[in-house]
Amino acid sequence: MSTDDIAKMATKYAEIVTVREPRWRATMWHATDLCRHCGMCVLWDERHPLCPNVLKPDQVVLSPQGWGPARNIVAFTGGDVACRAEFYARVAEEIKRECSDLWVLLETNGYGLTPRNLEVLASGGVDSFCLDIKAYREDVYRRLCGTTNKWILEAPKLRVDMGFVLEVLTLYIPGWVELDQIAKIAELVADVDKSIPFTILAFFPEYKLRDVRPPNLYEMVAAYYVAKGKGLENVKLGNIHVFAKSSEDVKLLVSLLEARALG
Ligand code: SF4
């Protein structure tokens, strides 16, 4: 698609937006404050037990990804789109020209976020980044991703200094990325700004890591408290279905954490 095609799609999307977020909430992390994507309020006029109760049913729409609010955010993901900084800077510029109240979010593993690319993306008007830090230890990072994480670990500071909104994700991968590295990543983020939204995702076996087990509920709860212990104020756990498979598990999780901590 051309930048023009994408801007046209974004303009169409702007017509069905049901929730206008301020720029600082242009993150995926904040989406679960609004809705848990069950569709119950639309389909059965009932609320999910963990529904945040902040949306009206007419703000919940059915999209290819399921039920949820249509927020005024256009997000790009896949590989590392930040490696094509000029293209996405142009996309952001054209989207903003058509609809100034849409925020542009890039999901990235950080590889393409060199200082030069960040400047290019800032000049186009990209608003926020969802940075996926796969590992703290460079040897583990290299085994997982085939490259160094040197500038990826420096990216949070650079991005906040440049005025981007930032959220950080990391994965709990048993035997690969456990509490020690999650603590280091949390510390690094807290040193930049304690309010940066931080999500710890549960790994599930796929592709070349099919023999690695997913983390269990207690490991994920421990990871949550490790991140909180580093001073982070906004921590959530993600991929809940991986480690909380029954309603009893979810109840246990809510009793050990708080509903807001479930991403
Ligand atoms: S607002 Fe979201 S979480 Fe609440 S009942 Fe409706 S679809 Fe479910």
> Residue 47 falls within a domain, yes or no?
no
Identify whether 96 is part of a domain. Answer: yes
Share of the chain above pLDDT 70, in %: 100
153-195: per-residue pLDDT in tens?
988 888 788 899 999 999 999 999 999 999 999 999 999 999 9
Print the domain residue range for 177.
Answer: 71-261
CA distance readout (Å), 47 to 25, 86, 257: 24, 44, 21
Provide the CA 23 distance to its chain's centre, in angstroms: 15
Distance from C-alpha of 103 to C-alpha of 143, rounded to nearest angstrom: 34
Using a 6 Å CB cutoff, which residues line ligand 1? 35-41, 47-48, 51, 55, 60, 67
Nearest to 127 by CA among 167, 163, 78, 79: 163
Number of domains the chain is built from: 1
Domain membership of residue 14 (yes or no) is no
pLDDT for the residue 207: 92
- Residue of minimum CA distance from atom 4 in ligand 1: 51
- Return the best residue to mutate from 19, 34, 35, 54 for the ligand 1 pocket (most ligand atoms within 8 A of CB): 35
| Residue bearing the CA closest to ligand 1, atom 7 | 39
The pLDDT value given to residue 158: 81
End-to-end CA distance of the chain: 31
The answer to whether residue 162 is domain-embedded is: yes
Closest CA to 169 of 263, 75, 50: 263
Q: Is residue 243 part of a domain?
A: yes
- 61 within some domain: no
The 8 Å CB, 24+ separation contacts for 205-213 are 209/173, 209/176, 212/173, 212/174, 212/175, 212/176, 213/174
Residue 141 lies in a domain: yes
The pLDDT mean for the chain works out to: 94
Please, which pLDDT band fits residue 89 given cuts at 50, 70 and 90? very high
The answer as to whether 255 is a domain residue is yes
Q: What pLDDT, in 10s, does the model give residues 185-237?
A: 999 999 999 999 999 999 999 999 999 999 999 999 999 999 999 999 999 99
pLDDT tens, residue by residue, 111-160: 888 889 999 999 999 999 999 999 999 999 999 999 999 989 988 888 78
The amino acid occupying position 149 is N
Instruction: Tell me the CATH number at 83.
Output: 3.20.20.70
- Tokens matching residue 190: 């807290």
Q: Is the pLDDT of residue 79 over 80?
A: no
Three-class HEC string of 226-248: HHHHCCCCCEEEECHHHHCCCHH
- pTM above the 0.85 mark? yes
- How far does the centroid of ligand 1 lie from the alpha carbon of residue 50, in Å? 9
Predicted confidence (pLDDT) at residue 263 exceeds the cutoff of 90: no
